[in-house]
Amino acid sequence: MNALQRIAVILWYEWRRALAKKWVIVLIVLAILFEALPFLILSQNMAGILTDVRETMWVAGVLSSQSLFIQIMAIQIAGSSMSEEYEQGTADILLSKPITRVEYLVGKFLGGFLLLSLVEAVTTITGLVLSFVVFGAQRNIQFVPLIFVTVVYATLVFYSLTFMFSEVFRRSNLAMFAGFGVFLVSYFVGSYMFFLQGQFYKDISQLLPTWSAMSLPMSLVIDLNLLPSGWAAFAGGGLGFTAPGDVRLAATIIVVYTVIFVALTYLRFVRSDVTKKAA
Amino acid sequence: MVSSLTKYYGEFKALDSVSFTVDKGWVYGYLGPNGAGKTTTIRTMLGLLKPDQGEVQIASVNPSKDPVNALQIVGYAPELPILQAFFTGEQLLDLMGKMFGLSMQERVPKIKKLLELVGLQDWGDKKIGKYSKGMIQRLSVALALIGDPMVLIMDEPTIGMDPEATAHFRNLFANLSKEGKTVFISSHLLDEVQRICTHVGMINKGRIVFSGPISQVLEAFTEKWIVEAELEKVTEEVVSALKSLDCVEDVKVDGNKLMIPLKEKKDSRGEISTEIFNHKGVLLSLNLHKATLEDAYLRAMKGGI
């Protein structure tokens, strides 16, 4: 059995573990509802202002779920990934088997991330189908895979951050709380800086973790002319305001954050004891 | 082989230069009071804990440095195991079989056989969340055996089991040893350890007090064999006669019973009964109390002889 096969076993295990939990199923159902409701509301009450974007409403649908929902989902999935094994005392059973800690870590990380990708795939397909049903034929659907991959990629910042918290704190609730905390603080500080004038504030806001995570998909949508910038910012900005920007910069910042968080997780995990069930 | 293993939990020294060797085919009982360091030793042996000093080698491989090769031949059943409740017994065995690299063709018959071996054949398709403590313990033993390990490490394997199951597993471990497997058992059940183990290790306050053959520990840590004689009537003549025997160290009278510590660990009931008969004593019963592991253990924990 080689390393890839061992990683695949842990990855499969991670899926089974996550899907055994009711809240994950609830979140997937919510993802579909979250996608469907805005379409229904817009089609009923705001048909007049949608003239320019009727044929690309699928983009707005994908961006709106990405902006908040998928980030929250990333924090939820990553927050319990490592910590639950310590909390429930099941880490012993897995790590006393012929597997390296790196393989275990990679299997866990990829397992949760692929599950998150599946949820995003469900919301993307739902958004696509609903936009056809509610608003008629859609244009530029050849960009669906690219937008999907971009959205999934953009979740890496908060996924890897909360994954790190999950290993460092070894408590699910604490990891999720910390993940949400960073998200909210970064989100609202970024929104505040959006209104401040000056390059300095702009530069600072772009270094905040929420900027790259939320700005990348909307910036790409604007670059590809899939939606007018105002619509893209509205759909992709969530409750606050995130300025679109350079796609490459956002992509790079995501890589940097992810590498840092994964490296810290690795260092903590390989150097520390596997603790028994948390008291 | 465990060599100079030292482990701290903060300021607390849980293991203090622990060293012992377990050879192939041994059934090694690891004994010690609560908090002595038994589970810490086992978890360090498996690479779950990082030692501050010393090292462990399983078949010449250090599990901390090369867990894949070291743990490929190890089956481990933890103390009071907590298993993934959302799996069925079969599913968890299947997952662990995959981790040992078993193919589907190997796993299916093996899972069936193991479930039968541990008496869970009717529970394999039920969620583990519905299992009792004893059933989880049985499944844990099956999980330890899925990879056909050469080394079995069991931390209190029969806790929570009924006496029938305890006897069943005692025989199972003895049989595994006969197959050439090395069995390492941490247990509080001294009677059980004395029955099945060839060697014992004793740990107290993080230090190894003794490690070696079970006969040696009985020799080293027990005092006397005692003959208990019950007579119809105890006379001064009988007591004096018994005291004069070479094999007898002393005679203590307790009603119509005589407690006779022997000078050597040798069955001297023949000489004693003859002497009682010769002095017109009527013997109702005569029992020899040999040294037990419990005696040796208690003595070892108090600081030895």
Q: Which of B68, B69, B104, B155 to mutate to test the interface with A (most CBs of A within 10 A)?
A: B68
CB-nearest partner of A98 from B68, B82, B143: B68
The DSSP bridge pattern shows strands B207-213 and B182-186 to be unpaired
> In terms of domains, do B47 and B96 share one?
yes
Tokens of B35: 């908090």
One domain for residues B190 and B231: no
Q: Find chain A residues with C-beta within 8 A of B74's C-beta.
A: 96
For residues B236 and B189, membership in a common domain is answered with no
pLDDT in tens, A80-134: 999 999 998 889 889 999 999 999 999 999 999 999 998 888 888 888 888 888 8
Which domain does B283 fall in, by range?
A: 226-289
Do B241 and B214 fall into the same domain?
A: no
pLDDT tens per residue across span B139-171: 999 999 999 999 999 998 887 778 888 888 888
**Does A49 score more than 70 pLDDT?**
no
Chain B residues bordering chain A (beta-carbon distance below 8 Å)? 43, 46-50, 67-72, 74, 76, 78, 81-84, 86-87, 91, 95-96, 98-101, 143, 147
Residue B99 sits in the same domain as residue B197: yes
Q: Does residue B305 lie in a domain region?
A: no
Residue A225 confidence class, pLDDT cut points 50, 70, 90: confident
> Quick one: which H or E segment has residue B6?
strand B2-9
- Cβ proximity of B196 and B168 under 8 Å: no
Q: pLDDT-derived band of residue B100, with 50, 70 and 90 as boundaries? A: very high
Does some domain include residue B280? yes
Which amino acid is present at A129?
V
So what's the ipTM on this one? 0.81
Residue B197 has pLDDT above 70, yes or no: yes
Task: Please report, for the domain that includes residue B240, its CATH number.
Answer: 3.30.70.100
Q: Do B47 and A95 touch (CB under 8 A)?
A: yes
Q: Are residues B232 and B277 in the same domain?
A: yes
CA geometry: angle B84, B87, B92, nearest 5 deg: 80
CATH number for B30: 3.40.50.300
Report if residue B177 sits inside a domain: yes
The pLDDT > 70 percentage for chain B reads: 97
Q: What is the mean pLDDT of residues B205-217?
A: 87
In a domain, B299, yes or no: no
Q: What mean pLDDT comes out for the span A246-259?
A: 93
Q: What is the count of structural domains for chain A?
A: 1
Categorize the per-residue pLDDT at B44 as very low, low, confident or very high, splitting at 50, 70 and 90: very high
Q: How far is CA B299 from the centre of its chain?
A: 17
- Same domain, residue pair B211 and B248: no
Lowest mean pLDDT among A34-38, A220-224, B24-28, B150-154: A34-38
Going by C-beta distance under 8 Å and a sequence separation of 6 or more, which residues neighbour residue A192? Answer: none
Mutate: best of A4, A87, A88, A97, partner B, most B CBs <10 A: A97
Answer yes or no: are the C-beta atoms of A194 and A214 closer than 8 Å: no
Domain count, chain B: 2
CB contact under 8 A, B100 and A101: no
- pTM (predicted TM-score): 0.84
Candidates A1, A13, A98; nearest CB to B95: A13
Token pair for residue B196? 């099945």
Mean pLDDT taken over chain B: 87
Flag whether B298 is in a domain: no
Q: Which has more confidence, B175 or A149?
A: A149
Read off the pLDDT band of B222 (50, 70, 90).
low
Most confident of A183-192, B45-54, B211-220, B287-296: B45-54
Contact A90 B68 (CB under 8 A): no
One domain, residues B96 and B168:
yes
Q: Closest to B82 (Cβ–Cβ): which among A5, A88, A273?
A: A88
Q: Do B88 and B215 belong together in one domain?
A: yes
What percentage of chain A reaches a pLDDT higher than 70?
89
Q: Is A269 on the interface with B (CB under 8 A)?
A: no
Structural domain contains residue A276: no
**Residue B264 vs residue B103, higher pLDDT:** B103
Contacts with B6 (C-beta within 8 Å, 6 or more apart), sequence order: B13, B15, B16, B17, B18, B51, B52, B53, B54
B78·A88 Cβ contact <8 A: no
Instruction: Give the pLDDT mean for B184-196.
Output: 84
Residues B151 and B27 reside in one and the same domain: yes
- Residues B172, B273, single domain; the answer is no
A153: tokens are 């990629």
Mean pLDDT score, A24-35: 78
- Asked, for residue A279, whether it belongs to a domain, the answer is no
Q: Is A22 on the interface with B (CB under 8 A)?
A: no
Range(s) of the domain holding residue A77: 3-271
pLDDT at A45: 63
Which residue, B220, B239, B270, sits at the end of a domain? B220
Give per-residue burial for B234-257: e unless 16+ CB within 10 Å, then b: beeebbebbeebebbeebeeeeee
Give the CA distances from residue A274 to residues B50, B66, B141, B186, in Å, rounded to whole numbers and listed in that order. 9, 16, 21, 20
Q: What are A133-153's pLDDT values in tens digits?
A: 888 888 888 998 999 999 999
- Asked, for residue B55, whether it belongs to a domain, the answer is yes
Distance, CA of A6 to CA of A2 (rounded, Å): 6
Q: Are residues B24 and B138 in the same domain?
A: yes
pLDDT tier at B305, thresholds 50, 70, 90 = very low
- Residue B296 included in any domain: no
In the block, which residue shows the tokens 């208990």? B228
Q: Residue A268: list chain B partners with CB under 8 A.
A: none
From CA B277, how far away is CA B17, in angstroms rounded?
56
